[in-house]
Amino acid sequence: MPISRNQLLAGAAALSTLAAAVAAAGAAVAQSQPTLPVVDAEPMDIGECRAPTSHAGTDRVLTCSCPARAGDANYSGSVWGSDVYTADSYICTTARHAGVIGDAGGQVTLQMLPGRSSYAGTRRNGVTTKSYGAYRASYRYVTTTQPNGGDGSFSAVVDLPDFDMSMVGTRKKAKSKALGGLFGAVGRATGDRTVREVANVGADLANGSGLGSSVAEDIGQCTGLPGAYWDKPGTLLTCTCPANPSEASPIWGTGIYTGDSAICKAAIHAGAITRAGGRVAIETFADQRSYSGSTHNGLTSMNYGPTRRLGAYRFVK
């Protein structure tokens, strides 16, 4: 039977519709490949994805696994925000909204953030999120830098100076106190010079490194740098961090941290310990002109300007 003109036109229209559908599908796929912020961190694996409310108030980088959408027993359409989501939003739903996974599921990586004053809902990739006002904690999707050499190990933030942890005592030797006093006196006399620069001068004068010839004072459980040491640069201290220390308190700096930064959290950030805890040793510094924040080992430190009468510290090993 010959094909009529109307049938040809109908077939052409159907092909045009199919082509448009394919183009739309292609656009949707392109939209579902977002450019994610890159953080230098080793994510904490939390297993199966849920709403990350238990991590609210931290700046952890987390990774978890989402099942296929069809078999997702925890699926919830009650999610809030776009790009940045409320901490009580179910991860797998927002991950599909953000385009980091499709219906087949997969592994996702996210970073906890502070709360926001408002969250805007949108429709993306077949998922609709809702708008909301102020909420106490948030998260966003990120990607992490590649491990060094591809062996799964992440580098520490800083190269920790050598320090023999067997040289730990309950009191500082007179030489250590004198050396710390020397650094402090030279620091006060030179004004803007940093303690790192002063320490180099002091090392020359003392004919050796303070780290190699002094004993660290054990201050017990780590908290922040005790106020008694804020104005005593060049002092060595050691303290102990418990397993899974609190990560709620903020920290400021990278490598060198403000004196009021929580020591255990800063130690994980610096790569001095893992979340299993352990003993750390620190060297005190004078107040710095500025502190640069960064994300390392699943934790984010913040920027800060000059501190006054807080002191600073770095980790040694």
The answer on pLDDT for 25 being more than 70 is: no
- The whole-angstrom separation of Cα 91 and Cα 140 is 10
Closest by CA position to 86, among listed 60, 59, 56: 56
> Are the folds of 38-150 and 168-316 the same?
yes
Tell me, what's the pLDDT at 10?
61
Query: Could you tell me if 233 and 180 are in contact, meaning their C-beta atoms sit under 8 angstroms apart?
Result: yes
Higher pLDDT: 215 or 293? It is 293
Q: Which CATH class is domain 168-316?
A: mainly beta
Closest by CA position to 182, among listed 227, 232, 237: 232
Tell me, what's the pLDDT at 20?
54
Looking at mean pLDDT, say which of 2-11, 15-24, 130-139 comes out highest.
130-139
Tell me, what's the pLDDT at 44?
85
The pLDDT of 1-13, averaged and rounded, is 58
How would residue 148 be classed by pLDDT, with cut points 50, 70 and 90? very low
How would residue 220 be classed by pLDDT, with cut points 50, 70 and 90? very high
The answer on pLDDT for 79 being more than 90 is: yes
Tell me, what's the pLDDT at 193?
34
Tell me, what's the pLDDT at 216?
81
Query: Could you tell me if 138 and 91 are in contact, meaning their C-beta atoms sit under 8 angstroms apart?
Result: no
- The whole-angstrom separation of Cα 163 and Cα 150 is 29
The answer on pLDDT for 8 being more than 90 is: no
Tell me, what's the pLDDT at 294?
84
Higher pLDDT: 41 or 129? It is 129
Tell me, what's the pLDDT at 259?
93
Residue 170: count other Cβ atoms within 10 Å of its Cβ.
Answer: 9
Beta-bridge partner residues of 85: 81, 139
- Phi, psi of 237, deg, nearest 5: -130, 155
Looking at mean pLDDT, say which of 11-25, 124-138, 215-229, 280-294 comes out highest.
124-138
The answer on pLDDT for 141 being more than 70 is: yes
Tell me, what's the pLDDT at 199?
34
The pLDDT of 43-63, averaged and rounded, is 89
How would residue 263 be classed by pLDDT, with cut points 50, 70 and 90? very high
Q: Where are the domains of the chain?
A: 38-150, 168-316
- Per-position DSSP letters for 291-311, written without gaps between them: B---EETTEE-B-B---SSS-
What distance, in Å, lies between the first and last C-alpha atoms of the chain?
89
How would residue 196 be classed by pLDDT, with cut points 50, 70 and 90? very low
Q: Which CATH architecture has domain 38-150?
A: Beta Complex (2.170)
Single pTM value for the model? 0.45
The answer on pLDDT for 108 being more than 90 is: yes
Tell me, what's the pLDDT at 262?
94
The answer on pLDDT for 175 being more than 60 is: no
